[in-house]
Amino acid sequence: MQVEPTALRLPKLDARLSAIASLVRPGVRCADIGTDHGHLIAWLAASGRILSGFACDINRKPLDKAACSLSEYGVSDRVKLILCDGLSGLHPGEVDDIVIAGMGGDLIWEILSTQSWTRDPALRFLLQPMTKTERLRRSLWENGFDILREEPAEAGGFPYTVLQTAYTGKVRHPSQIEAYTGLLWQDSRPAAINYLEKVTRQVREKVEGLSASAQNREEYMSYRTLLTELESRCKK
C-alpha cells in the first residue's frame, strides 16, 4: 500500500507576516522579538525556511501563546522560548536574522540600538513598524544601518512596510522625503502606491494641523514642501 506524504501543516500568515517571512534568509537562525502569538516563528520553522529559532517576548502571556503555536505545528524542539526585554535574552553569535515587528518605530529602534553587538554587518534585521516609520528610517541611516530592501504589504485594509536592514557603518542624513518614503519612493507595486497614499494623507493632516498655528512657520513650510512632493508622486 502506498502511503501519501502528509501535507505540511503551517500557521496561516496574513500579507504583513508573509512579507516579513519573505525577507528572512533561508537556512538561518532567526529570533522573533515580541513574538506574541508566535505564528511567524512557527511558520518559519515548520516550513523549513529557518534552521532554528528564538521566540522572545517581554510578557509571560504572549510567550505562553507562542508555546502553544510551536507545539501545535511540531517545532517546539527547534524554537527556544525566552522571556526577556528586547534582545537582552540573546547572546551575540547565536542568531543571524532578527525580526522586530508590530511595534512602534521608536520602540523598535530602542530595542535594536540598546545592544552593541547589533553593529555586525553579517546580521539582518527585519523591522515592521506600526507607527513613526520615518523616525525609524532616520535613526537607522543616521547611525550606520542601511536599508537593503523594503517590502510593502496590505493586510486588513492597512498598508505596511517591512524593512530589511544591516549595519554598514556608513552614516547618512536623509531628506524628509527619503525618511517618509524610504525605498518605496521608486516602487510601483500596488501595495507600495497604497503605502505612499497613506503617508500622503498623514502628512496632509500634519500640514493642516500646523497651518492653524503661526508659531511653527518653518516646520509648516517644510511639511508643505514634503506634501507637494508626495502628491506629485502619487499622481504618477
Please report, as ranges, the residues that interact with ligand SAM according to CB under 6 A. 33-36, 56-59, 62, 85-86, 101-103, 111
C-alpha cell at 83: 522571556
Of the pair 2, 116, the CB lying nearest ligand SAM is at 116
**C-alpha R_g of the chain:** 20
The C-alpha cell at 18 is 508573509
Question: Mind giving me the DSSP string for 16-37?
Answer: HHHHHHHHSPTT-EEEEET-TT
Cα dihedral 93→94→96→102 (10° resolution): -120
Q: Report residue 215 CA to chain centroid gap.
A: 35
Q: How far apart are CA 236 and CA 93, in angstroms?
A: 45
At its nearest, how many Å lie between ligand SAM and the CB of residue 37?
7
Beta carbon of residue 138, minimum distance to ligand SAM (angstroms, whole number): 21
Residue pointed to by grid coordinates 547618512: 172
- CA gap 56, 89 in Å, rounded: 8
Residue 235 C-beta: closest distance to ligand SAM, Å: 32
At its nearest, how many Å lie between ligand SAM and the CB of residue 129? 10
Shorter beta-carbon distance to ligand SAM: residue 57 or 96: 57
Q: Considering beta carbons, is residue 85 or 208 the nearer one to ligand SAM?
A: 85
Smaller CB separation from ligand SAM, 59 or 168: 59
CB of 86 to ligand SAM, least distance (A): 4
Shorter beta-carbon distance to ligand SAM: residue 136 or 226 = 136
